[in-house]
Structure 1
Amino acid sequence: MCGIVGWVDFGRSLAQEQSTMRAMAATMAQRGPDAEGLWLGEHVAFGHRRLAIIDLPGGGQPMTVGPDGALGRGSLAREGVIRDGSAVAALTYSGEVYNYRELREELQALGHEFATTSDTEVVLRAYLEWGDGFAERLNGMYAFGVWDGRRQRLVLVRDRMGIKPLYYHPTRDGVLFASELKGILAHPEVEAVVDADGLRALLSFVKSPGQGVYRGVHEVRPGHLVIVDRDGVRPRRYWGLHARRHTDDLDTTVRTVRELLEDIVDRQLITDVPLCALLSGGLDSSAITALAAVALRRSGGGPVRSFSVDFVGQAEHFRPDALRPTPDAPYVHEVADHVGAAHTDIVLDTAALTDPLYRTSVLVANDLPNSMGDLYTSLYLLFRAVREHSTVALSGESADEVFGGYAWFHDQRAVNADTFPWVAALRPSAADAPEADTCAVDAAKTRNIVDLLDPDLAAALRIDEHRRAEYHSALAEVEHLPDEDPREHRMREICYLHLTRFVQILLDRKDRMSMAHGLEVRVPFCDHRLVEYVYNTPWSMKTFDGREKSLLRAATADLLPESVVQRRKSPYPSTQDPAYERALRDRLAEILADADAPVAALLNPKRIHEVLHTPVDDTGGFGPARRAVELALGLDQWLRRYPVRLVVGA
């Protein structure tokens, strides 16, 4: 896993732009702490920061192929710089292709000779052999740029599910691109401007595909490539979710899910560096940990190493709520014992979660504020601890989106709402609160950050209108079978919304928090073969036992303790320490008292005062007031830390 940057300009020579490319690549240092490489051509320049995972000595980048078929590698060249305008093709690559061994054999049979054992060289030579169609042959998580010297064009490619990030900024004569926003913002000709569209994307809790928040910046959409040549910038989709009739019976379906998971985990265990599993004690992470343990034992690789996150006092003083009915710790330890894992608990306290240094580090890793606060900070600190022992981790992320695990999949009010189901579920109206429960009514009034905004700004942004447009745009993408029953029709839409919109929020969080420490986190449940198969499985089959994630439970039950098989869904943990929210409110009060606070002009002082005087929310991070406070603080910190110019209105 790595960090990449690039610059194409057909109007000038970039052969001497080493200092600019070094500055852009330097922003990716945490993503790639092992090596730096640059390649400078006439109209193109690539930068690369490497996190060495496979073929440690041979996988340097950017990687080029000359007219004679010989490789050049940036990080292995003198001072890590190659200046060569004659390359047939060049690649700056981030990610892992899990089927690279099969592709290598196929390419060798076609006459290609390899100088390394890296998946990077396989990707480069696959492009030379198959052109743009090579993307359809890749299985993995990846984001990269290929320069085709023969056709004088750039091809940007992102994996099917959007596991790895890739942003681009069209310019007058070309394009800039990078793994993270900061790589583009480091270019001297880019100004960090955020307009109304950017603020809407930031505040709506809906991932807008292709929206990069900063003006002029776009994100390569999952399953897409972007072609850049003298004629301009053209996105093209190479993969998407299509409706296909499912003909397997239940037993065959469960068996197929198991076979797919075994193959996926086997492939994702391939690495030349230490590997571990992230274990929460839920069905998803426990299944991946158990499958990894079996595969490692079979190959003689020893016990799987596992890590979990918890909070001081949480196990002893846990309070169940609608989202989290049980604490994680007892299940974590039971699974670790059951599969024979070498397990470590990472226990965090409120002082760490509120430490300004860590909160700033989270912002810098993310480049944008967020409303989930400790859900980001704790993940950042977990990954920091994991990185001391491992370079690669397997995660259970995305199983809920694939198999239908969230509570709102099974809540008819949320399913039938004319909006994204997670928005309907997590943001109830004041009318839902009992009249006597004034605390609940106050909380319902402040459902999200929009309720804390200056009224004129809120009116200009029209967040509800934006969210409605995004919702209907997403629905218009969904393919249906001609004779689908109404229930199956709607649940296909609900699954599509999660797999193309909601999952992106979580994959972005996972990527930024892990790569801030040079930790590669792999997500087996995002393998496109599994996603396609389960997506087209009828909802009645996905819930055949009357519960969430029925297929996953049935496919892995023999590997797990019965308590975990029967455990209800519990999301990633959040601190319940009231001191945490009190600290947030104290900081917000300080900002409210500071007339020079950059966020002050965006906020409604009266509504903030109301929030500060409502009872402290201890519902585990999803309480509406707490999330609004988190984002208000994040906005202030963002405007202080980044040279952002806000432009809202005409």
Structure 2
Amino acid sequence: MCGITGWVSFDRDLTHEQKVLDAMTETMACRGPDACGTWVDRHAALGHRRLAVIDLVGGAQPMTVHTEQGDVTLVYSGETYNFVELRDELTRQGERFATSSDTEVVLRGYLRWGAALADRLNGMYAFAIWDARDQKLVMIRDRMGIKPLYYYRTPDGVLFGSEQKAILANPLVKRVVDADGLREVLSYAFTPGHAIWADIRQVEPATVVTVDVAGVRERTYWRLETRPHTDDVDTSVGRVRELLDDIVRRQLVADVPRCLLLSGGLDSGTLTALAAAHLGGERVPTFAVDFMGQAENFKPDDLRDTPDTPFIHAVAEHVGSEHTDIVLDPKTLADPDVRKAALIAREVPVGAGDMDFSLYLLFTAIREKSTVALSGESADEIFGGYKHMHVPEIQRARVFPWIAVNVGPFDKDATGLNPQLVSQLKLEEYRLDRYDSAVGEVERLDSDDDFEYRMRVMIYLHVTRFMRYLLDRKDRMSMAVGLEVRVPFCDHRLVEYVYNAPWSLKTYDGREKSLLRGAAKEMLPESVAWRPKSPYPSTQDPYYSRELQHQGKELLTRRNHEVFELVDRGWLEAATERDSSAMDRLTRLGLERTLDLAVWMDVYHPELKLP
């Protein structure tokens, strides 16, 4: 894993811009703590920060191949899981390799196949190639959007980076957030391609962006297509098991210590059991997050029925993993410096409160022992695991499901926001427009009845919007501490197959995630295989709520803080005076969002262009 950045300019000599390139590259030091490299030519400048995972010596970047027609130079972030097969194929076609890295496979694959290389890759990646033969830049992002990549058009080229802060480090870019940027922050619509900073765009998943003197062109090389599914239950379960077995085998490949993130649920338990089987006699390290006193004092709520710890330990004992619980205390969780670190990593104030901070602290602790971790992220979106997916009212609602259910921070009543701002931004209209546009992308089979089509829409929205939000969260929190997190459930082969399985197959045993349970239940303790969905844990310690109120009161003393252009001061005053022991979920989330917005403004100093 790594961080990449660059600058292409057809009207200036970039050999004089080394300091600017260095500044852009340095913003991503956390993504690549092992090495730093830059490459500069007249019209192109590339920067790279490296986290060494495969071929620790030979995978240095930027990586260049010299040809008679000109140099071809690559900066690459991610992992290509089928690089061994691709290298064998390229070798048979006459390519010769100087390293054993997947980076060189991608570079020589481009030399042989051009941008069509993207169709052959299996992995998580975001990379850019400067092709001096045609004086063009080619940027490619993985199919599911696991690895981030952004770009900014200039009058004579582009700037790009794994993170927006790399682009913002260039003096050509103004730190402006306009109305649409604010709508994306506050609406939770997660519109593909949109970034929060004005004129910065994401390279969309499964997209090739080509930049040359004629301008910028985009091409989609893969999309989530609707296809008939003819396999019966047994065949479908067998195919899911077969795919997962192959995926986990591939994603365990690394030249550094690996581990599994274990939550006590079906998703992470399945991956842990498969990993343990592939590693044979080697005990797989597993890690889990917990909160001081949580197991003893746990209280069921509308999101979580049971604490995670007993189920985590059941899986660890069942597969014989080398398990570690990372137990967090509420004081550390509420530390303003931890909030600041998380906001710097995420770059945008679209957070999940203490769930972000505990994830950051968990990854910090894991990084002391491992460099690569496998995570069960995205199984719920693909297999239909969320409780709200099975609620008829939400199935029929004309709104994004994660907003309809008021899960986590996605409250639709804009708790704590300035009412005038909400009115000016027309958030409900914006959400509805984005929702209708997303639904319009879904292909319907002639055989789909209204219910089947509705559930196809449900899965499609989660995979193409909500899942990308969660993947970005996990990428940012992990790469902030130099940890590579791999997500086996995002393999596009598995996504394609399960997406097209009808809802009756996804729920064939009368429960959620039936196909995954059928594929994995023999490998897991029965209590885990049949455990209902439980979201990522959140602290219930009243100290944390009191500390939110305390920090809110401190913010109120800064009467001229720009955050009050966005936040209702009166609401904040009232929220900080409520009984913390009886604080409702929306009040707590409103406090979290207010503090996030304030810290984000302190760190990034945005110029707000309100409507």
Alpha-carbon separation, structure 2, partners of 1:545 and 1:613: 48
Query: SS of the residue aligned with 1:423?
Result: helix
Deviations 1:546-566 (A, max 9, x none): 111011011001110011011
2:573 is matched with which residue: 609, 617, 623?
Answer: 609
Structure 2 match to 1:439? none
Alignment of 1:584-599 (within 5 A): 584-599=548-563
Structure 1 match to 2:239? 256
Alignment of 1:71-82 (within 5 A): none
Tell me by how many angstroms 1:427 deviates: 6.6
Describe the shift of the 1:249–1:618 C-alpha distance in structure 2 as closer, same or farther (beyond 3 A): farther
Structure 2 match to 1:387? 367
Structure 2 match to 1:548? 512
Q: Residue 640 in 1 paired to residue 569 in 2?
A: no
Query: SS of the residue aligned with 2:512?
Result: coil
Structure 1 match to 2:306? 326
Tell me by how many angstroms 1:113 deviates: 0.6
2:265 is matched with which residue: 268, 277, 282?
Answer: 282
Asked if the contact 2:345–2:477 (Cα under 8 Å) also holds between the matched residues in 1, the reply is yes
Describe the shift of the 1:260–1:553 C-alpha distance in structure 2 as closer, same or farther (beyond 3 A): same
Q: Residue 46 in 1 paired to residue 46 in 2?
A: yes
Mean alpha-carbon deviation: is it higher for 386-395 or for 408-417?
408-417
Query: SS of the residue aligned with 1:426?
Result: coil
Letter of the structure 2 residue corresponding to residue 406 of structure 1:
Y
Alpha-carbon separation, structure 1, partners of 2:129 and 2:440: 32
Alpha-carbon separation, structure 2, partners of 1:456 and 1:334: 51
Q: Residue 61 in 1 paired to residue 61 in 2?
A: yes
2:440 is matched with which residue: 461, 466, 476?
Answer: 476
Tell me by how many angstroms 1:384 deviates: 0.3
Q: Residue 580 in 1 paired to residue 544 in 2?
A: yes
Deviations 1:306-352 (A, max 9, x none): 00000000000000112110100001111000000000000001111
Tell me by how many angstroms 1:643 deviates: 2.2
Mean alpha-carbon deviation: is it higher for 635-644 or for 339-348?
635-644
Alpha-carbon separation, structure 2, partners of 1:453 and 1:116: 54
1:361 is matched with which residue: 328, 341, 344?
Answer: 341
Q: Residue 120 in 1 paired to residue 139 in 2?
A: no
Deviations 1:1-49 (A, max 9, x none): 0000010001111123211111100011010001111111110010000
Alpha-carbon separation, structure 1, partners of 2:453 and 2:533: 25
Structure 2 match to 1:629? 591
Alpha-carbon separation, structure 1, partners of 2:331 and 2:141: 38
Structure 1 match to 2:131? 148
What is the identity percentage for the equivalent residue pairs of Structure 1 and Structure 2?
56
Alpha-carbon separation, structure 1, partners of 2:608 and 2:414: 16
Letter of the structure 1 residue corresponding to residue 159 of structure 2:
L
Deviations 1:494-518 (A, max 9, x none): 0000000000111011000000111
Structure 1 match to 2:530? 566
Alpha-carbon separation, structure 2, partners of 1:185 and 1:94: 19
Structure 2 match to 1:396? 376
Deviations 1:436-468 (A, max 9, x none): xxxxxxx9xx94683422232221111111111
2:418 is matched with which residue: 454, 473, 478?
Answer: 454
Letter of the structure 2 residue corresponding to residue 201 of structure 1:
E
Mean alpha-carbon deviation: is it higher for 593-602 or for 210-219?
593-602
Deviations 1:399-440 (A, max 9, x none): 000100001110111111100111101179xxxxxxxxxxxx
Alpha-carbon separation, structure 2, partners of 1:242 and 1:618: 47
Structure 2: stretches of 5+ with no match in the other structure: none
Asked if the contact 1:280–1:328 (Cα under 8 Å) also holds between the matched residues in 2, the reply is yes
Alpha-carbon separation, structure 1, partners of 2:573 and 2:480: 35
Structure 2 match to 1:335? 315
Asked if the contact 2:506–2:512 (Cα under 8 Å) also holds between the matched residues in 1, the reply is yes
Tell me by how many angstroms 1:87 deviates: 4.1
Query: SS of the residue aligned with 1:6?
Result: strand
Alpha-carbon separation, structure 2, partners of 1:473 and 1:578: 41
Structure 1 match to 2:23? 23
Alpha-carbon separation, structure 2, partners of 1:639 and 1:618: 30
Tell me by how many angstroms 1:600 deviates: 2.0
Structure 2 match to 1:81? none
Letter of the structure 2 residue corresponding to residue 634 of structure 1:
D
Asked if the contact 1:447–1:628 (Cα under 8 Å) also holds between the matched residues in 2, the reply is no
Structure 1 match to 2:465? 501
Query: SS of the residue aligned with 1:599?
Result: helix
1:224 is matched with which residue: 207, 222, 235?
Answer: 207
Structure 2 match to 1:489? 453
Structure 2 match to 1:37? 37
Describe the shift of the 1:127–1:447 C-alpha distance in structure 2 as closer, same or farther (beyond 3 A): closer
Query: SS of the residue aligned with 1:271?
Result: coil
Q: Residue 293 in 1 paired to residue 276 in 2?
A: yes
Deviations 1:96-125 (A, max 9, x none): 000000000111111101111100010011
Deviations 1:506-534 (A, max 9, x none): 10110000001110000000000000000
Mean alpha-carbon deviation: is it higher for 449-458 or for 371-380?
449-458
Letter of the structure 2 residue corresponding to residue 324 of structure 1:
R
Task: Report the TM-score when normalising by structure 2.
Answer: 0.98
Alpha-carbon separation, structure 1, partners of 2:492 and 2:581: 39
Structure 2 match to 1:177? 160
Tell me by how many angstroms 1:598 deviates: 2.4
Asked if the contact 1:308–1:344 (Cα under 8 Å) also holds between the matched residues in 2, the reply is yes
Task: Report the TM-score when normalising by structure 1.
Answer: 0.92
Q: Residue 407 in 1 paired to residue 390 in 2?
A: no
Alpha-carbon separation, structure 2, partners of 1:455 and 1:342: 51
Query: SS of the residue aligned with 2:589?
Result: helix
Structure 1 match to 2:142? 159
1:538 is matched with which residue: 489, 502, 505?
Answer: 502
Letter of the structure 1 residue corresponding to residue 396 of structure 2:
N
Alpha-carbon separation, structure 2, partners of 1:587 and 1:155: 46
Asked if the contact 2:6–2:47 (Cα under 8 Å) also holds between the matched residues in 1, the reply is yes
Q: Residue 99 in 1 paired to residue 79 in 2?
A: no
Letter of the structure 1 residue corresponding to residue 593 of structure 2:
L
Structure 1 match to 2:396? 416
Alpha-carbon separation, structure 2, partners of 1:423 and 1:349: 30
Describe the shift of the 1:386–1:87 C-alpha distance in structure 2 as closer, same or farther (beyond 3 A): farther
Asked if the contact 1:371–1:628 (Cα under 8 Å) also holds between the matched residues in 2, the reply is no
Asked if the contact 2:178–2:610 (Cα under 8 Å) also holds between the matched residues in 1, the reply is yes
Alpha-carbon separation, structure 1, partners of 2:314 and 2:150: 42
Asked if the contact 1:395–1:524 (Cα under 8 Å) also holds between the matched residues in 2, the reply is yes
Tell me by how many angstroms 1:618 deviates: 7.1
Describe the shift of the 1:126–1:447 C-alpha distance in structure 2 as closer, same or farther (beyond 3 A): closer
Alignment of 1:432-447 (within 5 A): 447=411
Query: SS of the residue aligned with 1:583?
Result: helix
Describe the shift of the 1:449–1:509 C-alpha distance in structure 2 as closer, same or farther (beyond 3 A): farther
Structure 1 match to 2:329? 349
Alpha-carbon separation, structure 1, partners of 2:72 and 2:227: 37
Asked if the contact 2:130–2:138 (Cα under 8 Å) also holds between the matched residues in 1, the reply is yes
Asked if the contact 1:592–1:600 (Cα under 8 Å) also holds between the matched residues in 2, the reply is no
Structure 2 match to 1:272? 255
Letter of the structure 2 residue corresponding to residue 641 of structure 1:
V
Describe the shift of the 1:490–1:618 C-alpha distance in structure 2 as closer, same or farther (beyond 3 A): farther
Mean alpha-carbon deviation: is it higher for 172-181 or for 595-604?
595-604
Letter of the structure 1 residue corresponding to residue 599 of structure 2:
Q
RMSD value, Cα: 1.6
- Runs of 4+ in structure 1 off by over 4 angstroms are 446-449
Asked if the contact 1:22–1:47 (Cα under 8 Å) also holds between the matched residues in 2, the reply is yes
Alpha-carbon separation, structure 2, partners of 1:564 and 1:35: 41
Tell me by how many angstroms 1:594 deviates: 2.5
Alpha-carbon separation, structure 1, partners of 2:198 and 2:48: 25
Letter of the structure 2 residue corresponding to residue 402 of structure 1:
I
Tell me by how many angstroms 1:212 deviates: 1.1
Letter of the structure 1 residue corresponding to residue 586 of structure 2:
P
Asked if the contact 1:181–1:367 (Cα under 8 Å) also holds between the matched residues in 2, the reply is yes
